[in-house]
Structure 1
Amino acid sequence: MGLLRDEDKAYLKKEFEKSLKNDVRLILFSSEDEHCIYCKETRQLLEEVSGLSDKILLEVHDIKSEDAKTMGVEHTPTIVITDSESRLGSRIKFIGIPSGYEFTTLIKDIMFVSSGELEVSPETKEALKGVNSKLLIEVYVTPSCPYCPKAVLVAHQFAMISEKIEGVMIESLEFPSLADRWSVMGVPHTVIRNLDKGNVVQFVGAYPETHVINFVKDADEGKNVDMR
């Protein structure tokens, strides 16, 4: 039995026909290990989605492969979304299955990457050009959180714009050890790590991009901010 309903497939197929312009690569890193509870379901989900358009190209790699090392992937399942030329590299990631409300995030990301048409303002795009440090934006979510997709989409779009930024969705129920590292209690919980300077900015809630860009600037400047 498929994970997507027939009516949902029909709707998405029409939306993809209208929105997709260039090829999009969905790169799944998976494992046959029994500890990867959602690897099978994640692969099935991506197979169903990629089957709705010839512009969505699905690749599946083992977590122990060289590709995983190259893309900095350590957990299964992990999805990397990139363009056909890999200009985006591995900057846009999902760690965990994009189920529940996060399925919408997956679909919108595909459309963003394919069309190049984002939802952030020109002012935000200009501000992101000034980022100098290497930043990792991790957004901890749960499938039942209706506000989480907004936070993830902001992080992912920032990563699409700036080569200095990596945006990662982390399903906190699926990866409690990662969530516990930052004492995640409520979601969406965003952690911005400056990989060059070592400082951390974190906050809880789905802030608009105009607020998030200020948090990014704080992280870039080496500030430690805790708004939990």
Structure 2
Amino acid sequence: MLDDTMKQQLQAYLGKLQRPIRLIASLDDGASSAELRALLQDIASLSDQVTFDESGSDARKPSFLIAREGETRGVRFAGIPLGHEFTSLVLALLWTGGHPPKVEADVIEQIKGLDGDFKFEVYMSLSCHNCPDVVQAASLMAILNPRVQTTVIDGALFQAEVDERQIMAVPMTYLNGQVFASGRMTVEEIVAKLDVKSEAREAAKLSAKDPFDVLIVGGGPAGAAAAVYAARKGIRVGVAAERFGGQVNDTMAIENYISVLETDGPKFAAALEAQVRHYEVDIMNLQRADKLIPASEPGGLVELQMANGGSLKARSVILSTGARWRNVNVPGEQEYKNRGVAYCPHCDGPLFKGKRVAVIGGGNSGVEAAIDLAGIVQHVTLIEFADALKADAVLVSKLKSLPNVSIHLNAQTTEITGDGARVNGLGYKDRVSGEVKHVELEGVFVQIGLVPNTEWLKGTLELSRYGEIVVDAKGHTNVAGVFAAGDCTTVPYKQIVIAAGDGAKAALSAFDHLIRTPVAEAVTA
């Protein structure tokens, strides 16, 4: 099942097991069960700390439980966890076997102290790069807390179950039989959602922090670069981010970052965070900024009020809040979000295997999505508002060579239709003839660009008509001591490498501001 290279790597990991574990399989006579049996036999053969048996009786077949020797609880995988989930499998084996997780000690204590019984069911697809975070978080919780049960389910393998629950986007997490969350979540986010008292504790912790020299809002490439450049000046630096890594976490392949031939978004985001932590920057993750209050006098403190009620203060602030997927804003989009309307073809594409889908958008993202989906679904209809596709020529050529793709130019999406439960079609207007047409399909992938995360700044500093923060060549905003960088600004070309350079520039400008601005008496008093 596993090739020799993977066996060697896995054997090295299994050498870290500190106690024996069991792989308890529930199998039938199908081909998938035979494949899972071979995988589990391979794993057991690599360590004398691992045993495998087929004594399981779970209703989901094929599935298997990873449990400590002598126990009948643990993490269950319903499916064959390869692809993006192979790392999740390895971590579940290690954690069950006593190897410590790389999670903050206070988060581990929060998990152990959760009050209640929690049964998680996490639906994923093996091609989803957002799913492992949720899978690994729920797995760790089940390993650390005996009142937590976790089952990880491959939606492509258990298609009937996915159809019954009308799951059309992954990761999809159920808690005690009810929908808990859709989309990527970290273990900290899940625990915070379950621990109702955590928000007040976190707010008090933020408000108690001493003022920063530079406070960065946002943890994407721009924010990470700003943090590194500022910290290297020997000053006090903090980063408040909703999700460290930002939109990079949702990027499948990165092949144009100079000196890095090829990587993926989650790996790149992890590398960003590791470098920032190397400089002992105070990272405050899962923190959403709500209001910016400029300094009341030159050299005074800028205040950042957070959504949880806490506040942070700093002598200078760098805004690097990034951007998010733009909505098409037609009837039916919000109603059928995660019920046929999707934004990540890599994550959700496998759920539409053999079905008909549309992609809205003819730029690089849209054309790449259409090409990827064409290898999975029955048919792809690409809808582009302009009179030509805007993607790179090599992508357009590839798209036009595919037999199961239809391209409609000069097409304005007017509505996404459904039967009340899920998408069943898309309406568009031919901008040349004026004719309104309807395409019957089961899924719509929206790929029409980005919108800056700046709504909370309206009325505080200057924004462009597109909502971007207006900056000069050095990253200054129109508010003293406040700088901005990356995709949330008017700087053209929203690319990772540009955002990183922009963040470095903003940090240097902030440092220049600090050394040239006397500290107000109120700050030193």
TM-score tier after normalising by the smaller chain length: 0.7 to 0.9
1:25 is aligned to 2:22: yes
Match of 1:222 in 2: none
Change (3 A) 1:216 1:181: farther
Tell me the distance in 2 between the aligned counterparts of 1:119 and 1:178. 33
CA contact (8 A) 2:23 2:66 kept: yes
CA contact (8 A) 2:68 2:74 kept: no
Q: What's 2:39 paired with?
A: 45
Shift in Å, 1:146? 1.9
Map 1:82-97; keep pairs closer than 5 Å: 82-86=67-71, 89-97=72-80
Inter-CA distance 184–6: structure 2 relative to 1 (3 Å threshold): same
**Conservation of the 8 A alpha-carbon contact between 2:22 and 2:67:** yes
User: Per-residue deviation at 1:181?
Assistant: 3.8
Match of 2:13 in 1: 15
Paired residues of 1:26 and 1:58 also in contact (CA < 8 A): yes
- The count of aligned residue pairs is 198
* Alpha-carbon contact 1:190-1:204 (below 8 Å) kept: yes
Q: Say which is worse superposed, 98-107 or 164-173, in terms of deviation.
A: 98-107
Partner of 1:224 in structure 2?
none
Cα distance in 2, alignment partners of residues 117 and 205 from structure 1: 26
Where does residue 182 of structure 2 map in the other structure? Answer: 204
Question: How big is each residue's C-alpha offset from its partner over 1:88-123, in whole Å with a ceiling of 9 and x where there is no partner?
Answer: x32310111212222221111111111241233322
CA distance in 2, matches of 1:169, 1:158: 13
* Secondary structure of 1:21's aligned partner: coil
Match of residue 131 from structure 1: 114
Look up the match of 1:140: 123
Q: Which amino acid aligns with 2:152?
A: M
Residues in 1 aligned to 2:59 and 2:81: alpha-carbon distance in whole angstroms: 17
Aligned residue for 1:25, secondary structure, equals strand
Paired residue type of 2:32:
Y
Query: Which structure has the bigger radius of gyration?
Result: 2
1:28-177 alignment runs, 5 A limit: 28-32=25-29, 36-61=30-55, 68=57, 73-86=58-71, 89-177=72-160
Q: For residues 181-222 of structure 1, what are the alpha-carbon distances to aligned partners after superposition, in whole Å with 9 as ceiling and x for unaligned?
A: 43221211111127xxxxx3422222122211123346xxxx
Deviations 1:136-185 (CA, angstroms, capped at 9, x unpaired)? 11110111112212211100110111111101100111112222343221
Local SS of the residue matching 1:82: strand
Give the SS at the match of 1:101. Answer: helix
Instruction: Tell me whether 162-171 or 125-134 shows the greater mean CA deviation.
Output: 125-134
Distance 1:57 1:139 in 2: 25
Higher relative contact order (CA 8 A, sep 6+): 1
Structure 1 residue identity aligned to 2:118: L
SS at match of 1:42: helix
Q: Distance in 2 between matches of 1:215 and 1:146?
A: 22
| Cα distance in structure 2, aligned partners of 1:76 and 1:180 | 17
Q: Note if contact 1:192-1:216 (Cα within 8 Å) is conserved in structure 2.
A: no
Residue 167 and residue 48 in structure 1: after superposition, are their counterparts in 2 closer, same or farther (change >3 A)? same
SS across alignment from 2:170 = coil
Contact 1:23 1:55 in 2 (8 A): yes
Mapped to 1, the partners of 2:26 and 2:106 lie a distance apart of 35
CA distance in 2 between counterparts of 1:91 and 1:184 reads 25
- Taking the aligned partners of 1:204 and 1:122, their CA distance within structure 2 comes to 27
How far apart are 1:22 and its partner, in Å? Answer: 1.1
Would you say the 8 A contact 1:120–1:157 is kept in 2? no
**CA separation in 1, counterparts of 2:111 and 2:88?**
21
TM-score, with length taken from structure 2: 0.36
Matched residues in 2 for 1:215 and 1:190: separation?
Answer: 13
Contact 1:24 1:83 in 2 (8 A): yes
